[in-house]
Amino acid sequence: MVRINEHYLKLQAGYLFPEIGRRVNQYISANPGKNVIKMGIGDVTLPLVPAVVKAFHEGVDEMAKAETFKGYGPEQGYAFLREAIAKNDYKDKGIDISADDIFISDGSKCDTGNIQEIFGHDNKIAICDPVYPVYADTTVMAGKTGRYNSGHFEGIIYMPCTKENSFIPELPKEIPDLIFLCYPNNPTGAVASKEELKKWVDYATKNKSIILYDAAYEAFITENDVPHSIYEIEGARQVAIEFRSFSKTAGFTGTRCAFTVVPEELKAYDPEGKALSVKPLWNRRHTTKFNGVSYPVQKAAAAVYSEEGKKEVSEVIAYYMENARIMKESLTRAGYEVFGGVNAPYIWARTMNGMSSWDFFDKLLNEANVVGTPGSGFGPAGEGYFRFSAFAGRENTIEAMERIKRLK
Ligand SMILES: *Cc1c(COP(=O)(O)O)cnc(C)c1O
């Protein structure tokens, strides 16, 4: 009798976005013709930039000719892309990461989930609350947790992020082995300063833990002193893995390309306590279970680092960040307490008059025809908050803010 992986039964049925969809559809069928503005999505809306599209086309054309056709590529990714990343994202910024430390993949969602497989089954995992749900759900699937209980899985160390701690968790008392951090943060839009990241690197060093650093939103940083990479912190090469993605940076959510950085010096321990290098393990997993990202996509990703590519991508990001600025200003003027939106495409707002996240969702939908994301959907510590994304168009953003201003 074949058995299922029973840990999957502990997962909460994808609740947040289906529930949002259900309420929106119900409203629209009861109120046909209403212009409902969606500011809930964590997906980009502007098309790929011209430099990227050109390289993408060239890649396809190469595949169409016998002389330039390519079959399987290197599993770790083509050297031209890994070298462009190492140079532009790291070396030019004074960060010591080489092309050999970089592993190209089809997404940070997969990477942040898959990475757990190279670490021992009984490792303790710490995640923030509220959080991007992938870190917790993949931990559950791997059978590392107990049951779900009022918003939390037993066995995971949850680190509350609230306005009292500026959405940067305190160092946990119970010591985790793997620590998921994401800055600039989804959903709170918060950033961690160098001093704050240094505390985490020192903590991981002292406790022989590893930080899994999700930097999916680093391209949205506008303030000079905010770190773009965990490797800007001394000692991080020994204790951190960094995940980056072209998804939000360059509109690749539907194109798929990302990368993971595993420095040579990063160590984990065997049962006898002997320190072993982590990179060969990730290389082994990647080359055994993954056969590389398609060649035209890697060509397209490399074009993000061309002169035109950089300029065009930064204009797209500036467009989203102008939306964020408008939203932050309008919501503040309307009396809301708002966070984020300066170095991340998300605004994290306190709900009106201490309403619950879902009550506020219903009020916004019914009275302003604006859809956002209830903060409680990202974890219990998100209760009483609401996430607005800056990925809607300019006109809709302005219109949504006008409607919110008129809310009673
Ligand atoms: C969007 C997002 C990613 C990117 O995931 P991809 O699989 O690369 O599209 C990673 N982390 C967070 C927190 C995100 O919001």
Query: Can you give the CATH number for the domain in which 105 is found?
Result: 3.40.640.10
Residue among 28, 8, 24, 40 at smallest CA distance from 346: 40
The CB of 251 under 6 Å from ligand 1? The reply is: no
Distance 225 CA to ligand 1 centre (A): 23
In degrees and rounded to multiples of 5, residue 326 shows phi and psi of -60, -45
- Ligand 1 atom at minimal distance to the Cα of residue 214: 11
- Same domain for 301 and 312, yes or no, is no
Which atom of ligand 1 sits closest to the CA of residue 252?
9
Q: Is the CB of 41 under 6 A from ligand 1?
A: no
CATH number, domain of 31, equals: 3.90.1150.10
Give the pLDDT of residue 42: 85
Residue bearing tokens 């951190």:
240
Within 8 A by CB and 6+ apart from 32, the residues are none
Quick: pLDDT tens for 227-261.
Answer: 999 999 999 999 999 999 999 999 999 999 999 99
Give the pair of three-digit tokens for residue 245. 């993605």
| Residue ranges, the chain, pLDDT below 50 | none
pLDDT of residue 15: 76
Measured by CA distance, the residue closest to atom 11 of ligand 1 is: 216
CB distance 107 to ligand 1 below 6 Å: yes
Distance of CA 285 to the CA centre of its chain: 22
**Residue whose C-alpha is closest to residue 190's, from 220, 150, 211, 210:** 220
Q: What is the pLDDT of residue 211?
A: 98
Domain assignment of residue 254, yes or no: yes
Same domain, 253 and 229: yes
Percentage of the chain surpassing pLDDT 90? 96
Q: Indicate if ligand 1 lies below 6 Å from the C-beta of 295.
A: no
Q: Is the CB of 249 under 6 A from ligand 1?
A: no
Q: Distance, CA 408 to ligand 1 centroid (Å)?
A: 35
C-beta of 109 in contact with ligand 1 (< 6 A): yes
Ligand 1 mean position to 334 CA, how many Å? 31
Report which ligand 1 atom has the smallest distance to the Cα of 248: 1
Does the C-beta of 247 come closer than 6 Å to ligand 1?
A: yes
**Based on the domain organization, do 254 and 201 belong to the same domain?**
yes
Identify whether 72 is part of a domain: yes
pLDDT at 209: 98
The minimum-distance atom of ligand 1 relative to the CA of 182 is 13
Query: Ligand 1 mean position to 216 CA, how many Å?
Result: 6
Query: Is residue 216 within 6 Å of ligand 1 at its C-beta?
Result: yes
pLDDT at 41: 78
Number of separate domains in the chain: 2
Same domain, 326 and 398: yes
Between the CA of 272 and the centroid of ligand 1 the distance, in Å, is 36
Please name the amino acid found at residue 26: Q
Q: How far is CA 170 from CA 126, 165, 298, in A?
A: 11, 8, 39
How far does the centroid of ligand 1 lie from the alpha carbon of residue 29, in Å? Answer: 32
**Domain-located, residue 65:** yes
What span, in angstroms and rounded, lies between the C-alpha atoms of 167 and 184?
11
**Domain-ending residue, one of 276, 306, 336:** 306
Residue 382 CA to its chain's centroid (Å): 17
| Distance, C-alpha 284 to centroid of its chain | 25
What is the distance between the terminal CA atoms of the chain, rounded to a whole angstrom? 60
Q: Does one domain contain both 355 and 372?
A: yes
1 inside domain: no
User: What is the chain's Cα-based Rg?
Assistant: 22
188 C-beta closer than 6 A to ligand 1:
no
Give yes or no: residues 301 and 322 share one domain: no
Q: Are residues 324 and 231 in the same domain?
A: no
In the prediction, which pLDDT does 99 show?
A: 98
User: 341 C-alpha vs ligand 1 centroid, how far in Å?
Assistant: 17
What is the residue with the minimal CA distance to atom 15 of ligand 1? 186
Ligand 1 centre from 178 Cα, in Å?
Answer: 19
Is 136 within the bounds of a domain?
yes
Domain that holds residue 100: 53-306
137 plus 263 within the same structural domain = yes
> Which residue has the CA at smallest separation from atom 14 of ligand 1?
216
